[in-house]
Amino acid sequence: MMSEFVTIHEMGPRDGLQNEPGAISVDDKVGLVNALADAGLRQIEVGSFVSPKWVPQMADTDKVTATLPALDGGQYDVLVPNMKGWEGFSRSSRQGTYGIAVFISASEGFSQANLNCSIAESVERLRPVVDVAVGAGVPVRGYVSCVTDCPFDGPVAPEAVADAAGVLRDSHDMPISLGDTIGKGTPDRIGAMLEAVLQAVPATNLAGHYHDTSGKALANIDVSLALGLRHFDSAVGGLGGCPYAPGAPGNVATEAVVAHLHAKGYQTGVDPERLRHAALLAQTIKRNARENAQT
């Protein structure tokens, strides 16, 4: 264990900033991404090609991707929920390697609130996106939301999560991130969910995405490590949450995850001091955005 590497997928510039109420400039977004890259993060989600009507903070993702320098030895990701999003992504100017992320929910209530469609309908929407991305040689990552609890339906059965992950894998052999969207997961329930999902997807292709709303994210990471996961999502400064999930704020902070993993002897490739600088920058951007929203 002492020499094992754990990959951190940094979500702050997308999942972290998308819920802020005030304007955030392209320069601030690019500056945050560059600070994260300088800290050693090599998997960074930088935006999403979604309707600005629903997620206004992501309306300038094309400008962000046009401005960012190539990420040496790494990959930027953007969320692409449908073919319209793919068209926006394919038109955008960018340097370096980019991947896309697609997502479904393990609960019907969240699928209706987030996507205005059933789980089955959401799968049909993403299939052509996956097909065209694979054909173009663009890496694809999948997300499953609400892996223990849904803000609308309540507790989610582990088997429903395994089914959702299996559906994504049927469309393409993609890595899958499992999201505790409202942060109610406990180590016992995360463990039970993972044991079900592991029947369909190997641990090497899974990531844990644990919100820290209830203060259990690091404990949930520990049970995931014990079951073989070596990929985790986090957001610098603990930014963010989902705008369609009441009670969701509180992505686990990247700096907390890195410190926790380093204390256990894992390697991450992340420099804690430079990450601290990125976290301070993230909090400044967040504070300015909220002040802008009040003026």
Residues catalogued as catalytic? 242
Give the whole-angstrom CA distance, residue 100 versus residue 73: 17
Instruction: Give residues with Cβ within 8 angstroms of 4, minimum separation 6.
Output: 230, 265, 266, 267
SS3 content of the chain, % helix, strand, coil (to 5): 45, 20, 35
Give how far Cα 99 sits from Cα of 78, 102, 145, 241, 288, Å: 7, 10, 19, 21, 30
Angle, helices 26-38 vs 272-294, to 10°: value is 160
- CA-CA distance, 149 to 258, in Å (whole number)? 26
